[in-house]
Chain A
Amino acid sequence: MIYVLLIIGVILLIWAVTTYNFFVGSKARIKAAVQEIGNQLKRQADLIPNLEESTKGYLSHEKGIFEMLTEARKAIAAAVDSGDVQKMSEAGTQLAQVLPSLRVAVESNPELKASEVVINLMDELRDTSDKIMYARRLVIDLTADFNVKRATVPSNIIANAFGFAELPGLITPQEGEHLEVSEQDLETPKVKLN
């Protein structure tokens, strides 16, 4: 009898430890995922001066776009430094809203459209937008997992005992480039293989 109780006790203990570790581990992973958003935003912001440099001569009449891009860059740098998820998210959205008009400007200029440097930079920007979207997705998923476990039986016992509060997660922007499908997305890519 004593052995049965002992075994049940050990199983309960293992469960409690695993559940506790899930909550602590999730928090750490969410923190890392938020940092990843910051990293990618920075990467995106760093691409802009390059792009500006290589398109300046052609897009002098599009000054407005570059002003907006510079604004967005500053906002990103400030948000990443502050480490605040919501601010980062907002700064990212700000940039995502300017990018389509830049794309239009570039694509309507035949010389820029043919320039390999510009094509590569636009591609990098687009790719970074995707990376930000996925980094954001991870934060949302991890937060959802955390909050579901926190609220459901039996893991809520551990959450309440150790006072794990519900995490706010991200408020996803309702619009932005990451929600749009560009013409480029629909094209079949050509891969060079040698």
Chain B
Amino acid sequence: MLNIYEAKAANQRRSFVIVFLFAVFVAAAIYILANAWGAYTGSPIDSLGIVGIALIVSGISSFASYYYSDKIILGISGARRATPQEDRLFTQVVENLCIGAGIPRPALYVIDDPSPNAFATGRDQNHAAICATSGLLAKLNRSELEGVFGHELTHIKNYDTRLMAVVAVMVGLIALLGDWFLRITWFGGRRNREEGEVGTIFLILGIVFAILSPFVGMLIQLAISRRREFMADAGSVEITRQPEDLISALKKISDDPTPMRNANKATAHLYIENPFKKTGHGKVGWFSGLFDTHPPVAERIKILKSML
């Protein structure tokens, strides 16, 4: 039996370990790919330069989605600003939770979509936004909505958009490096190839890493995403102290058969529950679970029940 403080501490520890592992993995992959590049071209300066270029390319592609993350949802078709008159319950509930969490109230948006779901985004607490579907607001009662928005507010409080943006840049960096390395070894002409034993080892390792590391990086990225979901669930309970409401909200959301019309892969990890509904897969084994942004609802409910 975990109390909420222990659950929170355990989540933070696990999250730290997994992010730390990710950092070690990224460092190792960069080190090996850069050395392999150096061994292939025979010039270590080249290899450092190529890491820099890859970092810039990967950074630029993710920077916009990070920095303007709160503005981008406006571009998602159908998103409109919530007003206290029209969306009384939505604004009231979020306002109240913000008082409890001690954070400024984020901008609120409504997407006209019958599928019940919600997500949060924004680079920090002052540029945060919470978006709910009209289906969510219509199908859940007040207490359940508190559970859902407590979850989203915890994403904001924990700077999850920022973390996932950094992780995405790093995964992109490794993928680019691996891709470029495979290209030059495939198509590029041989230049002053270093014929040492070390050079050969790095070359072989480089090819292995170039092929595998984008994949491994993505798997760790998804593991981080799932860990942050557990953290957001625990954070929601910390604000509302009502695990049973979040449980019934999660049940309602996952039992609803309608998939999101405007689901967006870039923000999928910030939704309360995977916006791409799985259909037709009766058995979901641990292997296909590796590719999910969200942990299975049954497991989330099990953990929430232990907090009752």
Contacts and interface: CB of A to CB of B under 8 A. Distances in A.
Interface of A: 29, 33, 36, 40, 123, 127, 130-131, 133-135, 137-138, 141-142, 181, 184-194
A133 B143 CA distance: 14
B100 A137 contact: yes
B112 A131 contact: no
Given A33-B102, A193-B134, A130 B141 contact: no
A185 B100 contact: no
A24 to B, nearest CB: 16
Contact of B86 (A135, A185, A192): A192
B170 interface: no
Given A130-B96, A185-B143, A190 B138 contact: yes
Contacts of B239: 134, 137
A134 B139 CA distance: 24
Contact of B112 (A123, A138, A142, A193): A193
A11 B112 CA distance: 51
Nearest to A144: B5
Contacts of A137: 100, 239, 241
A193 B142 CA distance: 17
Given A191-B87, A193-B112, A134 B141 contact: no
B89 interface: yes
23 contacts: A29-B102, A36-B99, A40-B99, A127-B92, A131-B99, A134-B100, A135-B100, A137-B239, A138-B100, A141-B102, A185-B141, A185-B142, A186-B141, A187-B141, A189-B89, A190-B138, A191-B87, A191-B90, A191-B138, A193-B86, A193-B110, A193-B112, A193-B137
Interface in B51-103: 86-90, 92, 95-97, 99-102
Nearest to A186: B141
Nearest to B90: A191
A130 B87 CA distance: 17
A136 to B, nearest CB: 9
Contacts of B87: 191
Contacts of B134: 191, 193
